[in-house]
Amino acid sequence: MSAGDKLFGRLLNRHPPAPVVPPEALRVQSFGLQILLDAEGRVMQLSGPLRHLLAQQVPGAQSPQLHDFLLPHSGLIVEGSPAQWQGQALDLDFYNLNGPPLHLRGWVQPQGEAWFLQLLDIGDLLLERRQSRNREQCQMLALHIGEQLRLCSLSRLPEVLAEQLQSVAQRFHIPCIALALLDEQGQGWQIQQHSAAIDAPQLWHNGQRLGTGLDSLSGSAPQTLTPREHPRLQDTFGNTEGFAVPYHDAQGVVAWLLCGFYPVKQRAADITERDWLQVTAALAGPLLERLREHRHQLQLERLESLQALLGTGWWEVFSDSAEVQLAPSLAASLNLGTAHLPLQHWLEQVHPADREELRRRLQDLADEGAPLMLCVRLYRADVALAPVWYRLQGQALGLGKNRRLVGFMLDISDIKNQQQSEAAAHARLDNLIASSPAVIYVQRYVEGALQPTFFSDSLLPLMGWSLADCAPGTLVDRVHPDDRDHYFERTRQLLREGAVRARYRLRDSRGDYHWLLDEAKLLRDDLGMPVEAVGLWLDVTEATLAAEQVKQSEERYRILVEDSPAMICRYRPDLTLTFGNRPLAAYLEMTPEQLPGVNLGSWMSAEQREAFSHRLTQLSPEFPVSTAEINLQLPGREHAWWVWSDRGVFDEQGHLLEIQAVGRDNTEVRRSQQQLTQSAKMATLGEMATGLAHEINQPLNVMRMAIVNVLKRLSNGDAQVDYLTDKLTRIDAQVQRAARVVDHMRVFGRRSEIEQHPFNPAQAIEGTLSLLSEGLRGKGVDLRVSEPGFEVQVRGHVDQLEQVLINLMVNARDALLGKREKDSQFNPWIALYAERDSHSVRLWVEDNGGGIDPRLLERIFEPFFTTKPVGIGTGLGLSVSYGIVENMGGKLSVRNGAEGARFCIELPLVVAD
């Protein structure tokens, strides 16, 4: 092995430390940094070209400690004495006088009574590795974005684009990001979609027009923008620093990726221009392709729809081949098997009386370019059918051999056949009146009596009578005996008041009775004397019988409500009962007669009553129904839960008048759910036992190391008070840390309270991290936590939300460790962060475990469903977590992200009074 291979292997920690080198050889080292240390780790001598870059943190010290040259996080690596570092590769970060820290790797070797520390600069290797990792991540991100935009439906394209912009913003930590496209007229730029962090100002909104300011940029490379450099971009970025990336196609620059409040040189120094262009192309390329396909499809659909609605279509005659091409819709309407056919075949579809004229006009169009406008009939073998009329219009395009004959055919059969349609409509109207169930009649006033003089033809099919059968004495005999007094009163009222509306029964010629609605009006002469009565009979037998059935149904419904096992009631918006059935009265230990006037809110807590009243205010005529679970505190009983469904009754102005409600007792189900939640919580504690043992063992190891160092100092007689105080303080901090873990385990294991209360979800995040963070890091899982930069309140139980977060992170941990067993190079991480909007807060738990099989996503929240091996896991964690979030009024969802699964807990915010 060459010297270069040995050196590179030592830098990557792939070879054992170098053997002990004689002191004479150590003194001639001329690269990197060499430090000579005494047995206690004090710096005795510095050499090597890098020594001029060091920034000593204890000026004036005679023999500074090695810690004084290191950044704080490197101090823990060199805990103890140099003798304890022997045989280990040391990665140390030194303060640098000229800027960024120095990243050095090396090892210690004994040199007499001192120790020789040889260090090499690995900053370039780390930078190259970061750039390579960033390049690979950008490629994976671009592939994922392009795949999502190409595979999603058109209806979800804006939503998916917003999600991908959000993922790019999260990846590069961009506060405001937007994608701008040319508008449909191509005269300016317009924001297609944007995404902004919760705490970032809103630079853009969807559909915002930016004008032509971006046209002032030239070239294809990403550009950092400021208003001073590009005054025309003042409306786009204001006074903020921005970053714009173009996207080119055959038409030039057709899209811009805009990043606002983003100093790219500081935020993403390792990301190259090629990476930015690749991400922008992944966003804009598929989007523009989908949008262009959609516009083209819409144009085709509009054309086909217009042709179908108008009964028209285009045609084109090819003079050189004597053929004609028809629109598919026109060929279908003409019952032609093909849209491309000989011209003679097309002319044969025209009626012989119009065929020769059409042929002559087409010839004039081809020879002279004379416009064509002609109405023709289609030839139909069945002459009994109404003719089909078409209007043909055409024009010649081009000159000479390039002349094209194009036009359209429009179905005008309705206009041509209008007179026939009107005559047929009159005939149908006459027939309708004759066959109508209404009978029009006229009664002549003769000497104080009304005598029938006319009945419409509908009398015969309805009653089986003729006018001769309706003599005054005969008609009265056909009235039902129970209705004759009513019939006589009808006649007196008509003569007295001039109009009447009555209902009675008449017997038809078969002996069956019909319920008739009789409406009549009395006509008078100029002197006010009665002349005749005009009226109609309308057969309302079915409606009358139906009304009787409704009446009987209402009686049965009343009996059903009284005997129903469900609790049924009506109450006013102030919760005062106006009616309650027997089950409700029995549950409240009252009688049904005592319920009216009782207020339902008297059995609720103040918070429950406020939430109940607020839910009623959300009812509207468009959404009159609301269902919820309510909690009541009945005297002498435990808490009771009812599943309660309300339906509002509104007046014509939309004001809530009354609420009709149906409820059932859900107490046993709720108690079972509480027991299941508590069981799942204890199961979670059991699953975390190993991790919690590691969590407590870590402080013990730190205390043990500190005690060993103190004992060594005591044995050497070098026990300084400051040193002892520092070690004892460290031991005390670790004791408090272990105590906090134990205390939080005891609090977490308690049973949840009965009622929900407002709390800050950051408390649940803090509790979860106190139990899991050290255990995860101890197993090699990188924990990426973004502290919430806001204060919000949600309603529920903080311990139950903590239980949900623990379940999600433990599941992620198990999946990541399982993947690392198969791939030792795999670097697992779990991300936990929060975001909010005006209505809700979202907690995200994300990992890079590769995601969940899409076939299992729909079943992931089912009870007892688990992908773990038999005997590991109960399958209840996600199911119980889903129920906990749902009881808090929120939603637990999952989808696969770029590198793994992404669980989202969305909870509604508590609205401040």
Number of residues written out for the chain? 913
Share of the chain above pLDDT 90, in %: 9
Q: Within 13 Å of residue 34, how many CA atoms lie on the same side as its CB?
A: 17
Conformation bin of residue 393: beta by default, left when phi > 0, alpha when psi is -120 to 50: beta
656-665 and 782-785 as β-strands: parallel, antiparallel, unpaired?
unpaired
Let me know: does 505 contact 479? Beta carbons within 8 Å.
Answer: yes
* CA–CA gap between residue 530 and residue 226 (Å, rounded): 94
170-184, 389-403, 574-588: lowest mean pLDDT where? 389-403
Contact 781, 847 (CB under 8 A): no
* Greater pLDDT, 705 or 119: 119
Q: Which residue has the higher pLDDT, 744 or 187?
A: 187
Half-sphere exposure of 343 (CA within 13 A, CB side): 15
- pLDDT, tens digit, 9 for 90 and up, residues 823-865: 888 999 999 999 988 889 999 999 998 888 887 787 787 765 5
What is the longest distance spanned by two Cα atoms in the chain? 152
User: Are the CB atoms for 286 and 149 separated by under 8 Å?
Assistant: yes
Can you give the pLDDT at residue 83? 84
Whether pLDDT at 871 is above 70: no
- Give 396 or 304, the one with higher predicted confidence: 396
Residue in 414, 415, 398 with CA at minimum distance from that of residue 406: 398
Q: What is the phi/psi pair of residue 15, to 5°? A: -130, 155
Q: CA-CA distance, 67 to 40, in Å (whole number)?
A: 12
Distance, CA of 335 to CA of 595 (rounded, Å) = 74
Q: Which amino acid is at 803?
A: Q
Q: Which of 21-25, 688-692, 842-846, 852-856 has the lowest mean pLDDT?
A: 21-25
Which structure tokens are listed for 13? 């920690």
User: What is the model's pLDDT at position 176?
Assistant: 92
Query: What contacts 326, CB < 8 A, 6 or more positions away?
Result: 313, 314, 315, 334, 336, 339, 340, 341, 346
Most confident of 520-529, 559-568, 668-677, 753-762: 520-529
What are the φ and ψ backbone dihedral angles of 142, each rounded to 5 degrees?
Answer: -65, -40
Using DSSP, state whether 800 is helix, strand or coil: helix
Look up tokens 């192309």; give the residue: 281
Q: Is the pLDDT higher at 706 or at 610?
A: 610
| Alpha helices for 18-117 (secondary structure H) | 23-26
Cα within 13 Å of Cα(705), Cβ side: 14
At residue 186, the 3 state secondary structure works out as coil
- For 475, the enclosing helix (H) or strand (E) is helix 472-477
Q: Is the pLDDT score of 900 beyond 80?
A: yes
Identity of the residue numbered 674 = Q
Using CA atoms, how far apart are residues 434 and 460, in angstroms rounded to an integer?
10
Assess contact for 351 and 379: CB atoms under 8 A: yes
Average pLDDT over residues 30-50: 83
Q: What is the pLDDT of residue 548?
A: 80
**Region 41-49 average pLDDT:** 85
Domains within the chain, CATH numbers bracketed? 3-121 (3.30.450.20), 130-297 (3.30.450.40), 311-419 (3.30.450.20), 436-538 (3.30.450.20), 564-665 (3.30.450.20), 718-908 (3.30.565.10)
The tokens for 174 are 């961009």
Angstrom CA distances, 518 to 300, 331, 500, 521, 657, stand at: 58, 57, 8, 10, 37
- The H or E element spanning position 560 is helix 541-563
Q: What is the 3-state secondary structure (H, E, C) of 52-72?
A: HHECCCCCCCCCCEHHHHECH
Q: Considering the chain, what is the average pLDDT of its residues?
A: 79
For residues 302-319, give the mean pLDDT: 72
The answer to whether the Cα torsion of 795, 799, 804, 808 is positive or negative is: positive
Q: Say what the pLDDT of residue 905 is.
A: 93
How confident is the model at residue 436, as a pLDDT?
A: 64
Residues 51 and 329: their CA atoms lie apart, in Å, by 86
User: How is residue 82 annotated by DSSP?
Assistant: G
Query: For residue 685, with 0-12 CB atoms within 10 Å meaning exposed, 13-18 middle and 19 or more buried, which class applies?
Result: middle
Distance between CA 688 and CA 721 in Å, rounded?
Answer: 40
Using only C-alpha atoms, what is the Rg of the chain?
45
Q: Please give the model's pTM, rounded to 2 decimal places.
A: 0.35
Q: Give the pLDDT confidence of 432-466 residue by residue, as tens digits.
A: 656 666 888 898 998 888 888 888 888 888 888 88
Where does residue 591 fall: left (phi above 0), alpha (psi -120 to 50 degrees), or beta otherwise?
A: beta
Our separate counts of H helices and E strands in the chain read 24, 34
Q: Identify residue 667 by its one-letter amino acid code.
A: T
pLDDT attached to residue 461:
81
Please give the Cα distance from 709 to 351 (Å, whole number). 114
Asked if pLDDT for residue 533 goes beyond 50, the answer is yes
Q: For 626-684, how does the pLDDT look when each residue is reduced to its tens digit (9 = 90+)?
A: 888 777 777 655 677 778 888 899 988 888 989 888 887 766 666 665 555 555 555 55
Choose among 38, 11, 241, 221: nearest CA to 120: 11
pLDDT band at 23 (very low <50, low <70, confident <90, very high): very low
The contacts of residue 687 (CB under 8 Å, 6+ apart) are: 810, 873
Burial class (CB in 10 A: 0-12, 13-18, 19+), 624: middle
The model's confidence at residue 740, banded by pLDDT at 50, 70 and 90, is low
